[in-house]
Amino acid sequence: MAEIPRGVLIIVLVLIAGIIDAVLFDPMDLPGSPPNLLLLVVAAIALVLGPVGGAVTGFFAGLAADVLPPADHLIGRYALVLCLAGYLVGLARDEARDSVFFALAAVAVAAAVATVLYGALGGILGDGRVDTHAILSGVPFSILYDVLLAPFVVPWVMSLARRAAPQVTRT
């Protein structure tokens, strides 16, 4: 397992997460914003790599989500959102190493930020489907779903990412 380059692992994980989001969580029509598996993968990797790795991973993961088929928004919008989310979660890497609660809190913050930022960007860019009420009512749900889903996703992705680490610097 240790032979797999981290970059390849991350790409594979991100694509799987993005596809699962697209075919499983988004169509479920749950109340509020749907669960965001991609965000959880980005957060987990950010918890391993720190802010820079989180931001880069988030950027490219968001870019992937921007072009994955059902996506119908400006390319770069989700890249910006996940980039910032990955950066924020990466900032909490050292604290989250000791406290599961802190890690979950970081995921919750990332979920809230992602939802609000994505919606706000839509508002700025003139996306008619976005309105303030929808954003604000969606935030609690996205936090709830992602925090509920995190214990099943984040530790697993983190351990994969750690084991796949060949020589990347731990700044």
Partner 1 sequence: MRDSRRTRLVLALLVLTAFTLITLDYRSRGGGFFGSIRRTAASVFGPVERAAADVVRPVRHAVQAVGSIGSNHKKVTDLQRQVSALQQQLRIQPYDTARVTELEQLLHVSAVGQYKLLYAQVIAVSATDGFEWTATIDAGSRDGLKENMTVLNGDGLVGRLKIVGTSTSTVLLAIDPEFNVGVRLPNNGMGVVSGHGHAAMSLMMLDPTARVKVGDGLVTQGSLDQTPFVWGVPVGSVISATNPLTGDVQTGSVQPFVDFRALDLVGVVVEPPRVDPRQALLAPPLPTITVTTTATVTATATVTASPAFSFTPSSSTSTSATGKPSTSRTPTPTPKPTSKPSVTPTSTVKPSVTPSVSPSPGKPSG
Residues within window 131-170 making contact with partner 1, judged by CB under 8 A: none
Residue 147 tokens read as 């925090």
> Is residue 52 part of the contact set for partner 1 (CB under 8 A)?
yes
Binding-site member from 74, 116, 147, 168 for partner 1 (CB under 8 A): 74
Binding-site member from 13, 47, 56, 85 for partner 1 (CB under 8 A): 56
Binding region for partner 1 (CB under 8 A) out of 38-46, 76-84, 107-115, 148-156: 76-84
Shortest Cβ distance from residue 120 to partner 1 (Å)? Answer: 13
Binding-site member from 36, 41, 47, 62 for partner 1 (CB under 8 A): 62
Q: For the range 56-63, what are the long-range contacts, defined as Cβ-Cβ under 8 Å and sequence gap of 24 or more?
A: 56/83, 56/86, 57/10, 57/14, 57/86, 58/82, 58/83, 58/84, 58/85, 58/86, 58/87, 59/83, 59/86, 60/11, 60/14, 61/14, 61/17, 61/18, 61/86
**Cα 131 from Cα 122, distance rounded (Å):** 9
From the CB of residue 43, how many other CB atoms can be counted at a distance below 10 Å? 35
Which DSSP letter does residue 166 get? S
Binding-site member from 14, 44, 46, 87 for partner 1 (CB under 8 A): 87
Instruction: Kindly list the residues in this chain that would bind partner 1 in the complex (CB under 8 A).
Output: 19-20, 22-24, 27-30, 50-52, 55-56, 59, 62-63, 67-69, 71, 74-77, 79-80, 83-84, 87, 90-91, 93-94, 121, 125, 171
